[in-house]
């Protein structure tokens, strides 16, 4: 479903149509903290935004929920209830981050599910709602993660995991945390990541009196684990070469 952006942000352009995978604007939980959201596709990635920034393509307000067929496919569906998970299960990353790679498998080390009843309003018209907290921890990380960032393994992935277990093999898809993220990328992705980081560092107004390369390593390159040697091959490229690599 196409929706129209009605304001500029760092990622969105006003007046441009975006593909919506999921729209949630109806508050079925009666929670006062409910916020209407839309999940849109930008390039190869999915991003969630406030629904306030979008309209239907005819300019009218979005007032109904929507879920695309592509989003509802079992292989891409987010984990909505962590109670079906247990320690030792594998999940697959849906969205790229500094720690996790899209499409990679990770082993669950801990699961948190907590329900809390909240009361709001003024007497005698008190109302209550149930707040649910869901989180998971994965091997190699000591941070709690949102389960919506991951999906369940599909049938083929489960078979691969089972076969690897029987043969005593390690699961190749599980990321080795000792390997830098930049080294986990394919050559074209690596080029784009480093060039984007260099350009962001050059334009960063907070660089102060640091050299561009030092600032990139200290502030911009940490997400990929970059060092000076990674930057060196790109510093003498011509503008035409850079534009071609970024296409």
What whole-number distance in Å separates Cα of residue 93 and Cα of residue 108? 12
Q: What is the CA radius of gyration of the chain?
A: 22
Region 38-60: mean pLDDT is 88
Closest C-alpha to 79, from 145, 158, 130: 145
pTM, full prediction: 0.51
Neighbours of 183 (CB within 10 A): 11
Residue with tokens 């984990």: 79
Cα distance from N-terminal residue to C-terminal residue, the chain: 26
Q: How do residues 110-145 score in pLDDT, each as one tens digit? A: 999 998 887 776 667 777 778 889 999 998 788 899
* Tokens representing residue 60 in the block: 């009218």
Quick check: 171 and 164 in contact, CB under 8 A?
yes
With cut-offs at 50, 70 and 90, classify the pLDDT of residue 64. Answer: very high
Half-sphere exposure of 160 (CA within 13 A, CB side): 12
DSSP code for 174: S
What whole-number distance in Å separates Cα of residue 101 and Cα of residue 57? 33
pLDDT for 54 equals 95
With cut-offs at 50, 70 and 90, classify the pLDDT of residue 170. Answer: low
pLDDT for 168 equals 62
Q: Please state at what angle helix 239-246 crosses helix 187-203, rounded to 10 degrees.
A: 120
With cut-offs at 50, 70 and 90, classify the pLDDT of residue 82. Answer: very high
What whole-number distance in Å separates Cα of residue 193 and Cα of residue 101? 14
Q: How do residues 201-236 score in pLDDT, each as one tens digit? A: 888 887 777 888 888 888 777 778 888 999 888 888
* Tokens representing residue 237 in the block: 């490229």
Closest C-alpha to 67, from 24, 37, 36, 22: 22
Domain spans of the chain, in order of start = 2-67, 82-166, 181-246
């Amino acid at each position: 479903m196409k929706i129209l952006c009605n304001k500029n942000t760092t990622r969105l352009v006003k007046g441009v149509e975006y593909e919506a995978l999921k729209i949630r604007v109806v508050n079925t939980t009666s929670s006062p903290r409910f916020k209407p959201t839309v999940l849109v596709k930008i390039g190869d990635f999915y991003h969630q935004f406030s629904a306030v920034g979008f309209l239907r393509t005819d300019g009218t307000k979005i007032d109904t929920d929507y879920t695309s067929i592509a989003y509802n496919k079992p292989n891409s569906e987010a984990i909505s209830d962590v109670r079906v998970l247990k320690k030792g299960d594998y999940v697959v990353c849906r969205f790229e981050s500094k720690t996790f790679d899209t499409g990679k498998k990770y082993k669950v080390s801990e699961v948190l599910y907590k329900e809390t009843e909240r009361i709001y309003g003024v007497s005698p018209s008190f109302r209550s709602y149930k707040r649910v907290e869901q989180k998971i921890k994965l091997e190699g990380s000591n941070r709690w993660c949102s389960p919506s960032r991951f999906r369940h393994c599909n049938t083929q992935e489960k078979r691969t995991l089972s076969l690897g277990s029987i043969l005593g093999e390690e699961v190749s898809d599980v990321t080795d945390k000792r390997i830098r993220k930049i080294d986990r990328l394919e050559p074209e992705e690596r080029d784009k990541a480093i060039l984007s980081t260099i350009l962001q560092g050059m334009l960063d107004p907070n660089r102060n009196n640091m050299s561009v390369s030092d600032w990139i390593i200290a502030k911009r390159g940490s997400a990929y684990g970059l060092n000076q040697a990674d930057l060196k091959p790109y510093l003498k490229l011509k503008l035409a070469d850079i534009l071609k690599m970024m296409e």
